[in-house]
Every structure is written in C-alpha cells, then in structure tokens.
C-alpha cells in the first residue's frame, strides 16, 4: 500500500514516457475496482459473455465488404484486471474487466476491433511489411487507423469515462489534430532514408518517435479523411497493403 500510494502521488505528467506509465495506469484502475468490488462481483455473475462474442462477430462481419467466414472467429480471450484497455496479442485477446464494467455497451465494438487485428494478421504478407522501415511505418498507421474505424466515431470522446488521465487525452487529441504536420515530418525522414542519407535503424527510431500511441490518432485521422471522401470501402479491400493505403490517402 505504501508503494502504491507513493506511485499514485506522482503527477501523471512526469510518468508519460517512463517505465512506470502502464504500472500506474493499472494501479489507478485496480484502486477504482476496490471502490466498486461488490458491484463488480454481481456484474461478473450476470454478464453474458456468449452474447458479447456473437455480437462482436456480427459487427466485424458488417464492417468487412467480403469477409472470410473461417477467419471470423473469436481467438482465445481473457478478461483481466489490468489497465483500462484491450489488446490483440500473438496468443489471443486480453481485455480489462473494469473497462467492461464501466462501458459494457462499448465492448462489442472494442472486441470486434481486436478481432479485426487478428483477422488482418492472418492475411497480410509479414515478410513484405518488414522488408523496409518506411513500409513498416505505414503499416503501423494503416493497422491501427483502419481498425479504429470498426468501433470509433469521435476522436474527442473516445477516451472519456474509462479512467484515463486528462494529460493522456490531451496528448492524444494533439497528435490527432497535428497529423498533417507529423506526416510531413515522416515524409522528410522517408526521403532522407531512401536517398541513403540515413540508416534504416535511425529512420525507424525517429519515425516511431513521431507516431504517438502506436499509430492510433494519426492513423485514425488518415482513415477518417479517406472515409469522408467515400474511399473507405476501397481501403477495406486493400487493408493488407500499406503502399495502397498511402496511394488512397494521397
């Protein structure tokens, strides 16, 4: 408890880019769970996880223009006590129980979102994606940006009500709104790398530093622009090719 309270007393701004960032998010979340423990236990007993799976598959099917049925299955999925997130990992999906409790209606979309990551991973050419750091950077923006279209409508409200500190929300919105400038900087880095003025490792390090939140806000900006121009269906068909993503965005 002493260690917990010591970490929780640190202003979150000082933790943003440090190793304690996720740990403190977990601590905040679990402390919040302790305040609602009786309600959480009731919720766990009554929640219909089977219906969640059915509705998530339905939502993902509706999003895809020509889905492959054999890939529309829920991977191994675990509900944990962690930070208020869900993640698609190599061995399956994990999601936070407190997030499920606070936002049960949003979990259908969030689970469909994570399932789309798994769906895409089965169909992309991984060898191609990592032959070139420029392609890998584009893939990061495409992967998160298109997947966010499965379940997100408004970048200004998507982090509300789930226990995310304001400083993170502000950083997310800043990254989203400044996507054109960030893309200009990435473009300059790419040209320098392709012209032989920069090593591949240096390009990737600098490019990754420009892409906040693993590509979510910048990718979402780009795919939202594509959607407004009526080209989202074309992008869905070409979801496995980051080069097509750049072409469609341009």
88 pairs with which residues across the strands? Answer: 93
> Which of 186, 183, 184 has its CA nearest to residue 205?
186
d(CA 134, CA 168): 27
Q: Report the half-sphere exposure of 64 (CA within 13 A, side-chain side).
A: 21
15-52 tens-digit pLDDT: 776 777 788 888 889 989 998 999 999 999 999 999 99
Query: What is the model's pTM?
Result: 0.90
State residue 77's pLDDT score. Answer: 96
> pLDDT category, 196, cuts 50, 70, 90?
very high
State residue 25's pLDDT score. Answer: 87
Whether pLDDT at 72 is above 90: yes
14-23 tens-digit pLDDT: 877 677 778 8
State residue 131's pLDDT score. Answer: 80
Number of C-beta neighbours around residue 71 at 10 A: 15
Please state the rounded mean pLDDT for residues 104-111.
Answer: 91
Helices (runs of H) and strands (runs of E) counted in the chain: 14, 3
Is 109:151 a contact under the CB 8 Å cutoff?
Answer: yes
141-163 tens-digit pLDDT: 999 999 999 999 888 887 887 77
């Amino acid at each position: 408890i002493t260690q917990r309270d010591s970490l929780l007393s640190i202003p979150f701004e000082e933790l943003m880019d440090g190793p304690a960032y996720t740990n403190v998010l977990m601590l905040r979340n679990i402390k919040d769970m302790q305040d609602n423990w009786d309600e959480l236990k009731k919720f766990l007993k009554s929640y219909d996880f089977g219906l969640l799976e059915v509705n998530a598959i339905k939502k993902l099917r509706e999003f895809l223009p020509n889905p492959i049925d054999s890939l529309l299955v829920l991977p191994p999925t675990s509900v944990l006590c962690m930070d208020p997130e869900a993640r698609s990992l190599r061995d399956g999906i994990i999601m936070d129980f407190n997030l499920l409790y606070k936002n049960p209606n949003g979990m259908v979309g969030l689970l469909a979102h994570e399932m789309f990551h798994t769906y895409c991973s089965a169909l992309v050419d991984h060898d191609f994606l990592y032959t070139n750091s420029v392609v890998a950077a584009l893939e990061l923006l495409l992967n998160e940006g298109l997947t966010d279209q499965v379940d997100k409508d408004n970048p200004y409200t998507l982090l509300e009500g789930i226990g995310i500190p304001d400083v993170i929300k502000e950083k997310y919105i800043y990254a989203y709104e400044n996507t054109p400038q960030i893309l200009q900087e990435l473009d300059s880095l790419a040209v320098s790398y392709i012209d032989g003025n920069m090593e591949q490792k240096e390009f990737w390090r600098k490019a990754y530093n420009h892409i906040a939140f693993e590509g979510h806000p910048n990718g979402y900006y780009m795919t939202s622009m594509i959607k407004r121009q009526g080209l989202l269906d074309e992008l869905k068909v070409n979801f496995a090719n980051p080069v097509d993503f750049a072409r469609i965005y341009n």
